[in-house]
Structure 1
Amino acid sequence: FKPIDYPKPDGVISFDRLTNVAFSFTNHEESQPCHLKLKDPTVPIRVNLPDYAEPAQRYCPAGVYEVVEDEAGPRFQINFQNCVHCKTCDIKDPSQNINWTTPQGGDGPNYPNM
């Protein structure tokens, strides 16, 4: 397929991912354990990256999942602090490898205008 070239966010009508995460007023205690767990930590790089170009980095609306390239090769990184608790990862992961659990203490998004 041909990748879609989307226009850059203009900061008026459209915004980048991290700005949208900021609008959710998400709050997670920095010392809490990650509430997004992988059943098999090797699957994102071993299976999903070659077969699907690791879709978690695209379907997550908050940019929680990244494939980071370093000297040892690609590695899968979970930035759970950005999670807006939409559970998209729990549904859309092609390998059904991500286990979404409730974070401790009721932390998460605080949508003030809802």
Structure 2
Amino acid sequence: MKTASVWTIVPNLLRTLLRKDVALKPKIILLAGLLYLISPIDFLPDAIIGLGWLDDLIIVPFLGWLSYRNLPQSVQNDVVPSAPDSKNKSLRIIVYLVALVVVLCLVAIMGDTAISFDDNGVRSTD
């Protein structure tokens, strides 16, 4: 049975977008998942606390899995290695955590939660 961490699988799955031996269908499915993840349009709005991210937590991994299942067997073996790569594991985790912090900071900076509206429902420019 193949065992690998998500820290190995996700980057390897993203690398399949650049491989020439991968058909267009798995690439489109994976891109659809990525676009859904960053898109402001969701089935459940993110304003609903807790439920807003639930659709992202279900749809994005599902599309990643579906993309993986549509890959050729040789590419699947490359995406999920049989033995986890132990060298540079701590460095890789640090890089991913830094990337996560950067993304969260960008979302916090770009997201304006202090929006006010006047009595007519028009956004004010305070």
**Structure with more of its chain in strand, by fraction:** 1
Rg larger for? 2
TM-score above 0.5: no
Bucket of the pairwise TM-score, normalised by the shorter protein: under 0.3
